[in-house]
Amino acid sequence: MEVEGIRLESRSGRESDPARRRIVTDGRPWFVAAAMVLLLIYCSVRVYRTAARQRYDFTTYYLSSTDARTGIDPYRDRDLQSPYIYPPLLFWLVTPFTHLDEQSAAVVWTWATFAAWVLAVHLARSSLDRLGPAPPPGEAFLTVWLPSLLAFRAVFREIHQGQVNLIVLAIVTFGFWCLSRRKDALAGLAVAVAADIKILPAAFGLPLAAWGRWRALGATAVLAPVVLALPVLTYGAHRYGEILGGFLRGRLFQHASDLAMDTHMANQSLIATASRWLTEVSPLPPGYPVMKMNVASLPLTWVATGTGAIAVALLVACGLALYRSRLDSRLTGLGVSLVWLTTHLASKKTWEEHLVTLVFVYTSLLHGDREWRRLAWPTVAVAALLQWSHTPVLVGSEMADRIQALGPTTLSLIILWVHVFLRLWRSGPLSRTGPDR
């Protein structure tokens, strides 16, 4: 099939192509598999030891799930432990882990996180293979595992913290995989599940609307409350009503209105970096690691309002770019990447572990023919250098903190956002029908 001079091969044709088959086997898969096994063993041992001596993110999920099962408020404040802030679905999904001791549960969670990482990489590559453009033979490593290496700081921190972001990434990427095969109902279910675990993936309703995938959008709207209600099967209607009310009336509002961590140096959202540069008084309690540049002494509410307006503008621009590129399915991967980047910049808090989504962003930029990647390499290189610029092993702990406070990761997200936006905007529709929409 051809669309304005561009040849688009069928899926069956690609699989029968010997050059295509070499891509699957190239990239020294045994070396990659061995490296992944060694990394899994190392992370499992490290997580097992960490869970024995300190609290971290998985501990919050584990304790909240135990509280909900035993009749205690899972959203209560905890001593020496961050409170649980996510929708109830996440700690309900963690319930099977609570039948293990905390250390063993943490190790099994690490295995699940690794599986989600591998699955997300595979689904992203499979979807992009289908939509094109395809990478040339012999360059599978550059387009499959290099994105994970570039984003490895975030991936490693995600695993060490026991966070849920890689699992959410795998679910959203599964939705992208379903879209590439026109399984819109399943795609809508994937977005619904992801949004019920963490709220921000609800932003993927925007590309579904911009691309006219109304069946997928409708499935998301219908299935999201159904999925959120599943814990009723375990807790009962009355008990779950209390839990859900605690989230909607208490923790959700408190998390949305709380500015207590906005100037933390590890927070690389737009509002956090702007606050470190433009405000004088920190809202943090004494003892928190904060770096401020004191360029200005604006009230925090002014900065929050200004960056909030920028966040809305980014969201609108994202929607327009998605709509403009709606007729070219080859740009779907870049569209998904733009949504991820927009959520990171517009969110109030963007920690490094949230940036595991860059695995997908880098894959969408580097997975293609040489001309496609030629446009992306300079941007990817600059962004990766900025993200690795505050690595303690390279520059020392104190200098790493100072560099991180400047917001290099925020700058890298802005650079990536502008690049992806311009690629979508300048490409525009190729035809009135499009190959896969």
Structure confidence by residue, pLDDT tens digits, 190-248: 999 999 999 999 999 999 999 999 999 999 999 999 999 999 999 999 999 989 888 88
CB 110 within 8 A of CB 46: no
What's the confidence (pLDDT) of residue 20? 42
> CA geometry: angle at 141 spanning 364 and 167, to 5°?
55
CB 121 within 8 A of CB 140: no
What's the confidence (pLDDT) of residue 138? 65
pTM of the complete model: 0.87
pLDDT at 258 over 70: no
Least confident of 93-102, 247-256, 276-285, 428-437: 428-437
What's the confidence (pLDDT) of residue 49? 84
How far is it, in rounded angstroms, from Cα 89 to Cα 372?
Answer: 40
pLDDT at 250 over 70: no
* pLDDT tens digits along 118-168: 999 999 988 988 887 667 666 666 777 889 999 999 999 999 889 999 999
**Range 299-323 average pLDDT:** 90
What's the confidence (pLDDT) of residue 372? 77
Backbone φ and ψ for 6, nearest 5 degrees, come out as -100, 120
Distance between first and last Cα of the chain: 14
How far is it, in rounded angstroms, from Cα 420 to Cα 188?
Answer: 24
* pLDDT tens digits along 388-398: 999 998 888 88
The tokens describing 43, both together, are 């992370």
What's the confidence (pLDDT) of residue 136? 67
Average pLDDT value over all residues in the chain: 83
Least confident of 34-43, 57-66, 338-347: 34-43
